[in-house]
Amino acid sequence: MTQLLQQYKERLVHYVRGGGLLKDVRFFAGMLVVYLILQATVVANVVVPTGSMLDTIREGERFLVWKLGYGLQNPFSPRHKIERHGEPLLKWRQIARGDIVMFVPPERSGKDEKYVKRVIGLPGDTVEVRPFDGVYVNGQRLDEPYVRRPAALAYGPVTVPADHLLVLGDNRNNSFDGRFWGFLPAESVQGVVALRYWPPWRAGTVH
């Protein structure tokens, strides 16, 4: 046993003095930096903790969020994007009605954690929620097969201001969303929910 311990000690000394430890520390530090950069700017892992998006998204399900879709997020300011000439850098497409997005809600909501909701109102849209009926955008009733049951409370009509969105949860009667804390600045959207990977029997794209 003593001889075995001595061999391990010698190997450890050689590992440290030979630079092996420093190389490994540099490698893992580099991997951590790459991971943090990817999480901040390209793709993020998110767990949905509530039932506000039932039945589309269930509590505890895990998703990958594509963060480059709407522009490069500022890693030091979760409510803003990196811009060039007034437009988000690396922006691939416009935010569309029906997109399921991840964002940090406005400060007046009193929350700082990331939310996942569905885009309903785009800039300039007039939106009204009619009790036990549905959502009307610019006078037309939306076809929303993803909604668990119609909202019981009226909302609007309201007009979405420029550079803002109205986002709602699919579980309309159990969702703390734009009806309560107002319009969402479009630049606060961090990405589109792209892929459900857990649980595996529900894996796939999300609509």
Which residues are annotated as catalytic?
52, 117
Distance (Å) of CA 102 to CA 75, 80, 130, 133, 186? 15, 13, 26, 27, 11
With b meaning 16 or more CB within 10 Å and e meaning fewer, what string describes 158-184? bebeeebbbbbbbbbeebbbbbebbbb
37, containing H or E segment: helix 20-41
Is the separation of the CB atoms in 87 and 81 below 8 Å?
no
Look-up of token digits 């300011």: 77
DSSP 95: -
**Which amino acid type is present at position 138?**
N
